[in-house]
Structure 1
Amino acid sequence: MFAERTRHLNGSDIRAILKMTEQPGMISFAGGMPAPELFPIEEIQEVSQHVLKHHGKQALQYTITEGFLPLREQIAQRMQVKFDKACSPQQILITSGSQQGIELSGKLFLDEGDVVLCESPSFLGAFQAFRLYNPRFIEVPTDDQGMVMEELTRILETTDRVKLLYVIPDFQNPTGRSWSLARRKELMEIVSHYEIVVVEDNPYGELIYEGDSLPSLASLDQKDQVVFLGSFSKILCPGFRVGWVCASPQWLEKYVMAKQAADTHTSTFCQQVIHSYLERYDLEQNVSKIKDVYRKRRNIMLDVMDREFPETALFSKPGGGLFIWVELPAFVNTREVLAKSLEKGIAFVPGGSFYPNGGHEHAMRLNFSNMSEDKIIEGIPRLAAVIRTFI
């Protein structure tokens, strides 16, 4: 009875693992979840009451698909300040999280058999969204500076039907890598010679712990090829599911039509609460507090890993974001490691989930934002002990 496209529909490994982490006493390094103790609950409570008292009839009503205009104006200002991208509110569409922006991109641009280029590894949620449209995934070799441009050029020169390139240039999920400025510029120069859509997913760009932020791909775009996806989930609260698409006016029009068909519009109330929060409170102060906590947790996790992990375990040392990427010897299967570590009360995500074409089962992704310092100090040695039984 199901449509043919559903044969590519698979559940998320992360969601399946998160169900297991609900067991009492489980220490989870699995989800990419913010720390709930950092949510500005009192402030959100205050602005929610303000919105209901002064704008309740509007906040509880339907709104336009594009989203609440005052919030779109605020986002356009943030795009300039935070991502070096000058844009108008008319180039902003409010989405139900940036995940919806990914899904709409697949719906708008992909026909069956089209090619999606992505980093290797990359975000498994994007694979889930794109697979509904039956594309072919080609992984572009990636190092600590970003995609390897020689390989990208070779693929573009020798591959038909390349339609979309999906990238996370800032503190990538799952590796935590950030692209160098040179790679960003080179990418935009290369793709300018092709009819290709660049989807720049940027949920982590503001969570920078060392150094300076780098220009977004959108800011380097000279041909309106970049669709920028942003989100409030990691810098405010994920439960509101408020993100945005920033794109050229002609492309945004199609995104609006696709969203109309999907869910009409994102929650009016949540949009107005975030708008009111941005007016009445200092989001930058909240982000600074988040960064201080996550920086400390990252440092603690890396210190314990340096002491406890075997020398053959190689891991990233990200300058921001939420994740540490670990690669074990090739003969180790981290799905087997996970089964044993769950018995010890420790959860993580096996690395094979982040490769659309499979393989690479010797890697794992660890999250440091969601567990407290004492849980990290307790959990990493337990995980290291399990890993040692496989090496």
Structure 2
Amino acid sequence: MEHLYSNRVRQLKASEIREILKLTQQPDIISFAGGLPAPELFPIEEMKVVTQKVLSEMGQEALQYSTTEGYNPLRSKIAQRLVNVGIKANKDDILITSGSQQGLDFTGKIFLNPEDIVLCESPSYLGAINAFKAYECGFKEIETDKDGMVLAHLEEVIKNTPNVKFIYVIPDFQNPSGRTWSEARRKGLVKIANQYNLVIIEDNPYGELRFEGEMIGSIKSFDTEGRVVYLGTFSKTFSPGLRIGWVLASPEVLNKYIMVKQSADLQTSSISQRELNQFIDMYDFDAHVAKIKKVYKIRRDLMMNTIKAEFPAQAEFEIPTGGLFAWVKLPVNIDTRKVLVKAVENKVAFVPGGSFFPNGGQENFMRLNFSNMPEDKIVEGIKRLGEILKEVM
């Protein structure tokens, strides 16, 4: 049947992250691989109450088809929360999606033709790379430093690259590097996008998970021409299993996303949207996020301190000020895919860094998640990785 498949499907490969996540089903594996929230922080007892209330008071509505745009009370609450990142919006600016990953897929469908070019940070989020690749595009990686994209390099690439459609960025606690853009870089990016008539896709799944320092306004908050598309999600602050994300965009652009969603899955789960909205009505959502941040900060500190103590001195890393990930650079002769094989034999897993560079190379990095594992397993897992790295180096 191979000849019957489309060219698009033939070039698809299994998601490396999803394949590695299968390892987390093994109870004896210490996994730093997926971007998984801590399951013990899920509000299970509260959700029992919420689900009962939703089914009792609006059961027929919750189990029925609904509008593509999403449940209006939840859209309004999202708009209200976006004030925290400097965005002034109302419910009509927002489309509810089945996780922000669906927003990434729709972005490729809306903007990309074969051989178009996506500009992205180097490194960038593997899930976005895979979503865009499905639309047969190419990538130009833009240099980054501790403040975000190097804008001089970005502008140079734009001037010398035809068919650029959009710039994809994760400015807060970036996946995988954990870095956060400065305000000056955010404003500069908007200025460049305006000058060269490009769209910016701002992906912000981690922005509320700040452990220290002051909130920096989102790139969307500096948008002067309606060319920033903002993707958000409740997967990291509440529950990934509900699959509730959203797209915020100008009316013209948002209408394209709505039409694409109509043809994809009609709507996001009616009952999930109402359950989340009911939780926000009944409980203190900010207190819930604060509890998550407190635990993740402890785990981040523990992981970074253990890395410093147990990894070889040649390992380089920065301490992220929020989010879920630590990013470790090893000497260029170390291939972390090979390290992963040894790690799995020792019942510990991570994501090799080469997957986050869309044009290949740079196999000497590793991404480590600190949110999912309890403290004792963080220490034990990092010790095991440290022993392996000392052996291979």
TM-score, shorter chain, exceeding 0.5: yes
The aligned residue for residue 285 of structure 1 is 287
**Quick check: 1:308–1:384 contact (8 Å CA) kept in 2?**
yes
The aligned residue for residue 218 of structure 1 is 220
**Quick check: 2:55–2:62 contact (8 Å CA) kept in 1?**
yes
Deviations 1:264-286 (A, max 9, x none): 00000000000111111111000
User: Cα offset for 1:22?
Assistant: 2.3
Distance in 2 between residues matched to 1:21 and 1:276, nearest whole Å: 31
- Structure 2 residue 19 is matched with structure 1 residue 16: yes
- Among 178, 181, 185, the alignment partner of 2:180 is 178
**Quick check: 2:176–2:325 contact (8 Å CA) kept in 1?**
yes
User: Cα offset for 1:20?
Assistant: 2.4
- Structure 2 residue 371 is matched with structure 1 residue 372: no
**Quick check: 1:163–1:195 contact (8 Å CA) kept in 2?**
no
The aligned residue for residue 166 of structure 1 is 168
- Report the AA paired with residue 336 of structure 2: T
User: Cα offset for 1:88?
Assistant: 1.6
- Among 28, 50, 59, the alignment partner of 1:56 is 59
3-state secondary structure, aligned to 1:229: strand
Deviations 1:40-70 (A, max 9, x none): 1111111111000000010000000000011
Q: List aligned pairs for 1:230-269, cutoff 5 A.
A: 230-269=232-271
Q: List aligned pairs for 1:93-112, cutoff 5 A.
A: 93-112=95-114
The aligned residue for residue 114 of structure 1 is 116
**Quick check: 2:110–2:256 contact (8 Å CA) kept in 1?**
yes
**Quick check: 1:123–1:174 contact (8 Å CA) kept in 2?**
yes
3-state secondary structure, aligned to 2:34: coil
Deviations 1:194-216 (A, max 9, x none): 22111000000000001011000
The aligned residue for residue 349 of structure 2 is 347
Deviations 1:305-360 (A, max 9, x none): 11111110001210000000001000000011000011111100000010111111
Deviations 1:188-240 (A, max 9, x none): 11111122111000000000001011000000000101000000000011100
3-state secondary structure, aligned to 1:383: helix
- Report the AA paired with residue 30 of structure 1: A
Distance in 2 between residues matched to 1:298 and 1:207, nearest whole Å: 12
**Quick check: 2:95–2:246 contact (8 Å CA) kept in 1?**
yes
- Report the AA paired with residue 210 of structure 1: E
3-state secondary structure, aligned to 1:21: helix
3-state secondary structure, aligned to 1:62: coil
- Report the AA paired with residue 63 of structure 1: S
User: Cα offset for 1:2?
Assistant: 0.6
Structure 1, unpaired ranges of 5+? none
3-state secondary structure, aligned to 1:291: helix
- Among 80, 87, 103, the alignment partner of 1:77 is 80
Distance in 1 between residues matched to 2:251 and 2:189, nearest whole Å: 23
The aligned residue for residue 36 of structure 1 is 39
The aligned residue for residue 385 of structure 1 is 387
3-state secondary structure, aligned to 1:155: helix
Distance in 1 between residues matched to 2:36 and 2:22, nearest whole Å: 14
Q: What CA RMSD, in Å, does the superposition of the two structures yield over aligned residues?
A: 0.7
The aligned residue for residue 363 of structure 1 is 365
Distance in 2 between residues matched to 1:148 and 1:7, nearest whole Å: 35
- Report the AA paired with residue 59 of structure 1: A
Distance in 1 between residues matched to 2:288 and 2:250, nearest whole Å: 30
- Report the AA paired with residue 97 of structure 1: G
3-state secondary structure, aligned to 1:137: strand
3-state secondary structure, aligned to 1:121: coil
Of stretches 297-306 and 186-195 in structure 1, the one that deviates more from structure 2 is 186-195
Distance in 2 between residues matched to 1:317 and 1:107, nearest whole Å: 36
Q: List aligned pairs for 1:182-193, cutoff 5 A.
A: 182-193=184-195
User: Cα offset for 1:304?
Assistant: 0.7
Q: List aligned pairs for 1:138-149, cutoff 5 A.
A: 138-149=140-151
Structure 2, unpaired ranges of 5+? none
Deviations 1:245-297 (A, max 9, x none): 00001111111000000000000000000011111111100000000000000
User: Cα offset for 1:23?
Assistant: 2.4
**Quick check: 2:97–2:268 contact (8 Å CA) kept in 1?**
yes
- Among 127, 150, 153, the alignment partner of 1:151 is 153
3-state secondary structure, aligned to 2:214: coil
**Quick check: 2:33–2:350 contact (8 Å CA) kept in 1?**
yes
Distance in 2 between residues matched to 1:23 and 1:97, nearest whole Å: 25
The two structures have a TM-score, normalised by structure 1, of: 0.99
Distance in 2 between residues matched to 1:135 and 1:10, nearest whole Å: 15
- Aligned residue-pair number: 390
Distance in 2 between residues matched to 1:71 and 1:308, nearest whole Å: 46
The two structures have a TM-score, normalised by structure 2, of: 0.98
User: Cα offset for 1:24?
Assistant: 3.1
User: Cα offset for 1:21?
Assistant: 3.0
